[in-house]
Chains A and B, each alone.
Chain A
Amino acid sequence: MSLLHVLGFGVKIGNFFWMLCCWFVSWFVDGGIEDKSSLLAGSVGDPEKTKMTTMKKKNKMWFWNRISSSGLKIPSFSYQFPGSVKFNKTFWRNVVIGWIVFWVLVSIWTLWYFSSHAMEKRKETLASMCDERARMLQDQFNVSMNHIQAMSILISTFHHGKFPSAIDQRTFSEYTDRTSFERPLTSGVAYAVRVLHSEREEFERQQGWTIRRMDSHEQNPAHKDDYDPEALEPSPVQEEYAPVIFAQDTVSHVVSLDMLSGKEDRENVLRARSSGKGVLTAPFPLIKTNRLGVILTFAVYKRDLPSNATPKERIEATNGYLGGVFDIESLVENLLHQLASKQTILVNVYDTTNSSQPISMYGSNVSADGLERVSPLIFGDPFRNHEMRCRFKQKPPWPVLPMMISLGMLVIALLIAHIIHATANRIIKVQEDCDKMELLKKKAEAADVAKSQFLATVSHEIRTPMNGVLGMLHMLMDTELDVTQLDYVRTAQASGKALVSLINEVLDQAKIESGKLELEEVRFDLRGILDDVLSLFSAKSQQKGVELAVYISDRVPEMLIGDPGRFRQILTNLMGNSIKFTEKGHIFVTVNLVEELLESIDGETASSSESTLSGLLVADRQKSWKNFKAFSSSNGHRSFASSPPDINLIVSVEDTGVGIPLEAQSRIFTPFMQVGPSISRTHGGTGIGLSISKCLAGLMKGEIGFSSTPKVGSTFTFTAVFSNGMQPTERKSDPQNNNQPIFSEFRGMKAVVVDHRPARAQVSWYHFQRLGIRVEVVSCVEQALRYMKTGTGTVNMILIEQEIWNREADAFIKKLHKDPLVQSPKLVLLAKSVDSSIDALSTGIDPPIVIVKPLRASMLAATLQRGLGIGNRETPQHKGPPALILRNLLHGRKILIVDDNNVNLRVAAGALKKYGADVVCSESGIKAISLLKPPHEFDACFMDIQMPEMDGFEATRKIRDMEEEMNKKIKNGEALIVENGNKSSWHLPVLAMTADVIQATHEECLKCGMDGYVSKPFEAEQLYREVSRFFNSPSDTES
């Protein structure tokens, strides 16, 4: 984990650096090139060159731009999705590999560079050291040589120049001993005189010894220690001799030896006297010491010779030879001793006169490393070459520093490579993720589409059989039915319709989710809706023995404008839930104005069990709206903005069910979320209802909330804003005038409700009030009797709660018997369910009318009509089923049907003919237009929308144009007003026939002047709905 963090951090830092580098480099390079190129362009007139530079510049710029842009792009990848830029994996791998290779090469080069540098330095050191040693050796040698030369002059001066000689062997040896510090390199000095053969005897005599040759001891160098000069043979006869006469003590054994007899010496001597310079022998093991040495020989001349003297003259002038023995080994050793750091180098000295076979003069032949410095030594003898070879004793140390540097560089480069790699990887991964997301998104979208299609298909499939059911019910309603049967059928139909609408609502969920749902603005009767909803659930509630009741405040207007379907949907959802989870007690729906509640909010007391509908405890209703914004914003003093035409409804659905567990309360409005998995198994349902309700309430500018106490019950409350559907003129004048004409027969009646529960009594009061019955609420039977006696006017009925009836029916009946009223009122029993009806009916009195709850206007009216005997059978026929009315409406009407599809045409014509219409068919829009050119005889036109050549919209537009023209003419009096006096202006109702009933199509229909649309194939009810808008009831026009 921490490693990952570190890596991540590293990546970030790397990113930053990379960016910085790129930025810097690009800036630098851009600037640099800019300067340079401008300079070039300015100074050089040659266009070719300028072009080239600009091209180069462009290339470079491009390169850097590319790098810098890609570098700058990297960090941005993490934050924005790259549109079309594809991050190439191989490109980045190549970059990384290139980077690594480059830096490996760089580090190798660095290593090589540094180590070669070190080598060079080492070589230089060696050279300087070697040269220094060689120079010193040379100097010292030269010093010694000079001294020997000086000595030769001394001899020529004091030995040959004086007569008799000032020097004898003793003087010489003493002198040389005492001056040996001046010749630190010579181990000994000796002087040999030139003796011609003619002078040999004379000389031998003078010296007292014979001249001896030295060959023998050279041939036998092994016996140096027992070297015996006496054993040497006298020199054979020669032309001339060079016997040693003086010698330093260290080399006193060479006295009397003939130098010319030794091969090396002879050569030396001959060379020395001819050249007049000091000459050196090749190194050879010295007599006695057996160390390597060289002999330096100077010729001593009789007189001072000019420097350009010929060798012959020199030979003539030669008097003798002075030789010094140089002990090279000790010489070099001494020298090296004097110098510091002699340990570091090995010194070899060679005589390279014969270059192919150098003779080692000093130094061991230890092989060291290959580094060697050769310095020439010049000892003043042009004939002989010497050189000094120096090597380091130790091998060169490992080049630790360069290695470290290059290694460090490599490591850094690798790290950067890793960073690049990681970054690239990460980017690629992010990109892949992005792609994946994209794919998933696409998939999800596709799934969404599929879901919608699925829903559409399924709902279509369900709607088809449901249409059968509804149609059958419809047909059933056309038959002769008594009131109860009719009520049942109506309930069945309403339930079926609710199911169909529910299916539509499932479809709506998709719409809601995509925010495409639009609410209708239709006038509707709220009370009617609630009655419908109640009927939906009445069977179930009766079966469960749960009391279902509705109370609508009378301050709520009769007609509202809004979306009744959606309102109903919310109610159905809430009530459906309630009835699912309630086993006993009640479900109570109240509808109030928000203002009303706000006014009473302070006065309302906490609910006690007695004040509820069924006497069971309920969840606190007020809590359910405590989160509502409209309420909480300020302390409930008309804080919600309600413009006067707006009606703020608050609807509560209260039940005494199991309640919602506390832990599930938070997610109750989440789609497809149920309290527990077992819920759907025991109660069914999808869990979609509440979320839809919430959305719908939101769409109605309202809110939804609930309060729930487990084991006690739940109360759901929602608010919705509608506009007032009451026309100002008909306001409150007569609530029954337009929509409930059937209830008129109850008007003016009076009833007494006996109920000890005020809430329930209020519900009863509300429903009877709706029928126009004046209701008095009393809490017990005695009160009722008392009221009947004292009250003014006759009481037509006594409404008794089943609860009270069961308790004191007998007593009540007895009392009624005992104290008969003038006109005995009808007893009405308000029962919860059918089966628990009236038991123990005492005789002597009319059986009471039993009204099974839930109370709703139509049912109540029907039951009362039957019970009171005032009902009239013609009532249902008054309105009649659509089929009949359709027949009435359409009979004798001349209708044009336009459809390009023959089959459809025939079917539609057949359907309309069935209703008695006079049908004319037309296969195309053009033909239809010619038929509909005013004046014409048609009463209506059914127009297919999708037609070749001219579609329905266009045809309608044309028709409308023609009518417009005609109307204008009529206005101007140009055309005759048609005989049908009422047709002062032309407007033929045109209905679209279409297979798809999409909202958009509908709007399109209206836009181009159509009056409505019917779906193919025809549905009687829809046809009726549309047709009835244009045709007044037949009685008005025809009769």
Chain B
Amino acid sequence: MEKRQFRDYTISLYHQGFLDDQFTELKKLQDECSPDFVAEVVSLFFEDCEKLISNMARALDQTGNVDYKLVGSSVHQLKGSSSSVGAKRVKGLCVTLKECCDSQNYEGCVRCLQQVDIEYKSLKGKLQDLFNLEQQIVQAGGRIPQVDI
């Protein structure tokens, strides 16, 4: 039952574009020697997100003399980590935000940043659910099924 739910949920995450193949790759890297690899990386990623987003928000708060360079480097980092994790939507938004930043489009930057914030939070929630499901399966003594997309 839970396995099925887990499978469906995972597939829905892929289909809704929250995740991409890189996440699958990531999962592949998880094995016996590093059983919490994915969770570890993902939590790192979210910490990263939080930090970078607050950085950018602070930079963008300074109306008038926005340090676009700072925002640019932050968004570049965020893009790198999101693509490593396979957070597809966040990555896409990062690309847009980078463009806005390059063209010094303040409005665009702020809007994109808000979206990134929303997006990463929702991803966080979804992944949390996913891990919870995984946890349940493990606790029930089952194996986490391979999900092919």
Residue ranges of A at the interface with B (Cβ–Cβ < 8 Å): 464, 467-468, 471, 900-904, 906-908, 910-911, 913-914, 946, 948, 995, 1016-1017
Contacts and interface: CB of A to CB of B under 8 A. Distances in A.
A28 to B, nearest CB: 58
B81 A901 contact: yes
B21 A464 contact: yes
Interface string B28-40: 1111011001001
Contacts of A910: 26, 29-30, 34, 37, 41
Contacts of A464: 20-21
Given A901-B77, A907-B26, A946-B76, A468 B21 contact: yes
Contacts of B79: 995
Contacts of A948: 73
A901 B76 CA distance: 10
Contacts of A914: 28-29, 31
Contact of B83 (A467, A902, A1016): A1016
Given A900-B77, A901-B48, A901-B84, 5 more contacts: A467-B21, A903-B44, A907-B26, A948-B73, A995-B83
Contacts of A904: 80-81, 84
Contacts of B84: 901, 903-904, 906-908, 1016-1017
Contacts of A908: 84
Interface of B: 20-22, 25-26, 28-31, 33-34, 37, 40-41, 44-45, 47-48, 73, 76-77, 79-85
B75 to A, nearest CB: 12
A921 to B, nearest CB: 12
A413 B40 CA distance: 91
A817 B23 CA distance: 64
B144 to A, nearest CB: 17
Given A901-B80, A914-B31, A1017-B25, A907 B85 contact: yes
A232 to B, nearest CB: 130
A910 to B, nearest CB: 4
Given A903-B41, A903-B48, A906-B40, A911 B29 contact: yes
Nearest to B85: A903
B21 A902 contact: no
A820 B33 CA distance: 65
Contacts of B30: 910
Contacts of A903: 41, 44-45, 48, 80-82, 84-85
A468 B76 CA distance: 25
Contacts of B21: 464, 467-468, 471
A900 B77 CA distance: 8
26 contacts: A464-B20, A471-B21, A900-B77, A901-B81, A901-B84, A902-B44, A903-B41, A903-B44, A903-B48, A904-B80, A906-B44, A906-B84, A907-B85, A908-B84, A910-B30, A910-B34, A910-B37, A913-B29, A913-B33, A914-B28, A914-B29, A946-B76, A948-B73, A995-B79, A1016-B83, A1016-B84
A913 B29 CA distance: 8
Chain A contact residues: over half helix, strand or loop, or mixed?
helix
A907 B29 contact: yes
Decide if the interface of chain B is mainly helix, strand, loop or mixed. Answer: helix
A468 B40 CA distance: 25
Contacts of B22: 1017
A908 B80 CA distance: 12
Contacts of A907: 26, 29, 41, 84-85
Contacts of B45: 902-903
Contacts of A471: 21
A40 B19 CA distance: 91
A901 B44 CA distance: 10
B84 to A, nearest CB: 4
Contacts of B29: 907, 910-911, 913-914
Nearest to B30: A910
Contact of B80 (A467, A468, A913, A995): A995
Contacts of B76: 946
Contacts of B28: 914
A840 B37 CA distance: 62
A129 B29 CA distance: 132
A902 B48 contact: yes
A144 to B, nearest CB: 116
A464 B25 CA distance: 13
B59 to A, nearest CB: 14
A471 B24 CA distance: 12
B47 to A, nearest CB: 8
A995 B83 CA distance: 9
A350 to B, nearest CB: 100
Contacts of B77: 900-901
Contacts of A467: 21
A924 to B, nearest CB: 13
A902 B76 CA distance: 13
A914 B26 CA distance: 11
A911 B79 CA distance: 19
A995 B79 CA distance: 10
A584 to B, nearest CB: 42
Contacts of B40: 906
A788 B111 CA distance: 83
Nearest to A994: B80
A1016 B80 CA distance: 8
Q: Which 4 A-B pairs have the closest CB atoms?
A: A903-B81, A910-B29, A907-B84, A903-B45
Contacts of B73: 948
A867 to B, nearest CB: 36
A159 B93 CA distance: 150
A139 B89 CA distance: 128
A154 B20 CA distance: 156
A906 B80 CA distance: 12
Contacts of A913: 29, 33-34
A1017 B29 CA distance: 12
B26 to A, nearest CB: 6
B143 to A, nearest CB: 20
Nearest to B77: A901
Contacts of B26: 907, 910
B101 to A, nearest CB: 15
A334 to B, nearest CB: 110
A464 B84 CA distance: 14
A914 B40 CA distance: 16
A467 B21 CA distance: 9
A1017 B44 contact: no
B56 to A, nearest CB: 15
Q: Taking each of B47, B48, B77, B80, which has the highest tally of chain A beta carbons within 10 Å of its own beta carbon? A: B80
Nearest to A1018: B25
B83 to A, nearest CB: 7
A455 B26 CA distance: 29
A471 B149 CA distance: 13
B69 to A, nearest CB: 11
A313 to B, nearest CB: 125
A908 B77 CA distance: 15
B53 to A, nearest CB: 14
B92 to A, nearest CB: 11
B76 to A, nearest CB: 6
Contacts of A900: 77
